[in-house]
């Protein structure tokens, strides 16, 4: 049965560097000659004055949602204001991303940007372009996995490939145009398995579909599979090496002799054009949050890797990723 053509696995996450965070603090106001604070520096000292909304492009319970909420808890302590996590699923994340871009560039609305922020313009024609955003910092990386229901008679990745020869298998993912849809097609392309991607609004919902038998399998981040607490069986990791949180699970290469590497990175972004002081305050706070022991422990428990890039590095990275996905998926 013919399938849509898919590119060979995307080496989009090769050579990820985990650098030390560059902390940028806000300086105190400098008095003018008449004793008053200079206007620009006075403004710098007052942000943030009220709540900050953190828009999440997926349903509650998935990797994007949990990582965002873990970071928000740290940001509240660092910034001294409420950071309100707000789910806005739809259109594989484009709904949330376009919404954030439309908001005033004053730091009161930020978003969690998954890898799809570099894909959706190519895969769906969404108005999601690097120039629409200020990228404040990368905060995590989620290696991809394929899983089935715990009571499925598919025991191994080899079993799954063999079963797909009888009839195409449905594979739930986090949405049309998402990294996990691309990973599903890439896995099928390399292994010869007949895999039909089925979109859901978020990785948690996709894995739940596999757990219940609504779909034959799911492709997601490892953390989303682990969050099901034994309701799914992870067949393989789409990464260059086994994951420390799932040491007994083979990589695709170990299972089938074919290298397949897909992963979902994520970071924080804001509407383009933030004032310099607001940008610096948010970048600094994100760096501190990522370095915190509680945030790093959360990501470790969730099966994700802590990968940090500062604003400049993350901006360059996203722009490079945007070009890669245009070439490979366009």
Per-residue pLDDT of the chain (330 residues; tens, 9 = 90+): 333 333 333 333 332 333 333 323 333 333 344 444 444 444 445 899 999 999 999 999 888 999 999 999 999 999 999 999 999 999 989 999 999 999 999 999 999 999 999 999 999 999 999 999 999 999 999 999 999 999 999 999 999 999 999 999 999 999 888 899 999 999 999 999 999 999 998 888 999 999 999 999 999 999 889 888 899 999 999 998 999 889 999 999 999 999 998 999 999 999 999 999 999 999 999 999 999 999 999 999 888 889 999 999 999 999 999 998 898 787
Residue 96: exposure state from Cβ atoms within 10 A (0-12, 13-18, ≥19): buried
Q: What is the pTM of this model?
A: 0.76
User: How many helices and strands (H and E) does the chain possess?
Assistant: 12, 9
Instruction: Tell me how far CA of residue 12 lies from CA of 38, 58, 74, 86, 252, in angstroms.
Output: 45, 22, 29, 28, 17
Q: How many Cα atoms are found within 13 Å in the side-chain-facing hemisphere of 260?
A: 30
The CA R_g of the chain, rounded to the nearest whole Å, is: 21
**Backbone CA torsion sign across 192, 198, 200, 204:** negative
Q: Using alpha carbons only, give the angle 111, 93, 259 rounded to the nearest 5 degrees.
A: 105
Tokens 């695709």 sit at which residue? 252
Residue 191: closest CA among 238, 225, 240: 238
* Distance in angstroms (rounded) separating the CA atoms of residues 37 and 216: 64
Instruction: Give the separation between CA 100 and CA 103, rounded to whole angstroms.
Output: 5
User: 306: which 2 tokens?
Assistant: 């802590």
């Amino acid at each position: 049965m013919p399938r849509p053509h898919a590119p060979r696995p995307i080496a989009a996450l090769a050579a990820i560097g985990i650098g030390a965070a560059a902390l940028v603090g806000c300086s105190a106001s400098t008095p003018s000659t008449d004793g008053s604070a200079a206007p620009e520096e006075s403004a710098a000292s007052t942000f943030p004055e009220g709540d900050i909304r953190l828009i999440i492009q997926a349903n509650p319970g998935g990797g994007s949602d949990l990582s965002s909420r873990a970071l928000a808890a740290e940001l509240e302590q660092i910034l001294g204001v409420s950071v309100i996590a707000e789910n806005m699923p739809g259109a594989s994340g484009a709904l949330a991303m376009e919404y954030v871009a439309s908001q005033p560039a004053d730091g009161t609305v930020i978003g969690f940007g998954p890898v799809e922020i570099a894909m959706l313009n190519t895969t769906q024609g969404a108005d999601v372009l690097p120039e629409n955003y200020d990228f404040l910092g990368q905060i995590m990386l989620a290696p991809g996995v394929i899983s089935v229901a715990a009571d499925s008679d598919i025991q191994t990745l080899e079993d799954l490939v063999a079963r797909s020869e009888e009839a195409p298998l449905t594979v739930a993912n986090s949405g049309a145009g998402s990294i996990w849809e691309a990973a599903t097609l890439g896995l099928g392309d390399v292994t010869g398995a007949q895999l039909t991607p089925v979109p859901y609004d978020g990785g948690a919902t996709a894995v739940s579909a596999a757990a219940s038998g609504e779909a034959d399998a799911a492709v997601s981040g490892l953390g989303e599979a682990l969050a099901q607490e034994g309701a799914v069986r992870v067949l393989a990791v789409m990464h260059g090496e086994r994951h420390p949180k799932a040491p007994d699970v083979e990589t695709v290469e170990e299972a089938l002799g074919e290298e397949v590497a897909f992963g979902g990175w994520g970071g924080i972004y804001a509407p383009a054009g933030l004032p310099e002081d607001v940008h610096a305050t948010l970048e600094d706070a994100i760096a501190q949050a990522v370095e915190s022991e509680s945030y790093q422990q959360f990501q470790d428990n969730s099966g994700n890797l802590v990968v940090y890039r500062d604003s400049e590095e993350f901006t360059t990275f996203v722009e490079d990723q945007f070009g890669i996905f245009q070439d490979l998926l366009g």
